[in-house]
Amino acid sequence: MDIVTTPTGSPVAMVHANNSASDLSAWVKLFSQFSKMIGSNISTSELYQVLFNTALTEAEPDAGGLSGYGYYSGENITVVPEGRPLLVRQPDSEFTIGNLMRFHFFTAFGAIKIGMRILSDEKVLTDNIVAQGGVFKTPIVAQKLLAAALNTDITVMKTAGEGGPWGMAVLSLYTINKKTTQTLDDFLDNNVFINEKYETLSPEPEDVQGFEQFMERYVAGLDIELTAIKALPSKKEKE
């Protein structure tokens, strides 16, 4: 966790997590391979949409008792030194595609949730967060589940999937085209985001409760992740 600033110098409390939706994408790739094996012509974008939507339409609020960690690398917030992607379920867990997808969204937001709890304890509170990243290209799903995870309003713009390079391009555009005394804030308001389309979703109580139940398992099971690191050394360690 760091204290940084925006390009205009406003203070920012940053919760930095090393792992997010990489494991979610890996599972979608697995389903894509299966779809090709059975002769399906579904496109990758369509497959993402179908699978992501099941996390809302065919899943239980707490992801059916599933747990685990999409850790491809170490995670500072949870004090885990290396990554071992894990899916953990009990014999009576509801192992369905919808719950699997919902679980992967939940675990993608797990470390961030712990960091946000720390900020909350420090009296740093939020009433709205603007989210961006490729996972938000599919409408509603990730936005709705992130609202549940952070228990706050989540706003997603049409440009949410563009990421950091798009932001750097905007800064370059400002440098080249700004008026002599025009501030960056004014340029963004009147030249970039003036006609921007966006949507804001509020958390739903049932989803918030389901995520909190998931987080209980997430925190309690961190020893499983640490045990996997010890029991399954990395290739580099073997060498």
Q: Judging by beta carbons within 10 Å of its beta carbon (0-12, 13-18, 19+), is residue 154 exposed, middle or buried?
A: buried
Its sign, for the CA torsion 60, 148, 6, 16, is negative
Query: What whole-number distance in Å separates Cα of residue 52 and Cα of residue 168?
Result: 29
Say if CB 147 and CB 109 are below 8 A apart: no
Query: pLDDT value at position 46?
Result: 95
- Using CA atoms, how far apart are residues 28 and 32, in angstroms rounded to an integer? 6
Residue 2 token pair: 């760091």
pLDDT tens-digit readout, 4-47: 998 888 899 999 999 999 999 999 999 999 999 999 999 999 99
The residue whose two tokens read 């603007």 is 130
Cα angle 39, 44, 69 (rounded to 5 degrees) comes to: 110
The answer on pLDDT for 148 being more than 60 is yes
> Tell me: the pLDDT tens digits for 57-80?
999 999 999 999 999 999 999 999
pTM reported for the whole predicted model: 0.91
**pLDDT of 213 above 90:** yes
Span 171-180, pLDDT tens digits: 999 999 888 8
Residue 167: predicted pLDDT: 83
Q: Is 221 in contact with 67 (CB distance < 8 Å)?
A: yes
Could you give the CA distance from residue 188 to residue 166 in angstroms, rounded to a whole number? Answer: 13
Instruction: State the pLDDT at residue 197.
Output: 87
Residue with tokens 């987080």: 215
State the pLDDT at residue 105: 98
Contact in structure between 16 and 2 (CB atoms under 8 Å):
yes
Contacts of 12 (CB under 8 A, 6+ apart): 3, 4, 5, 6
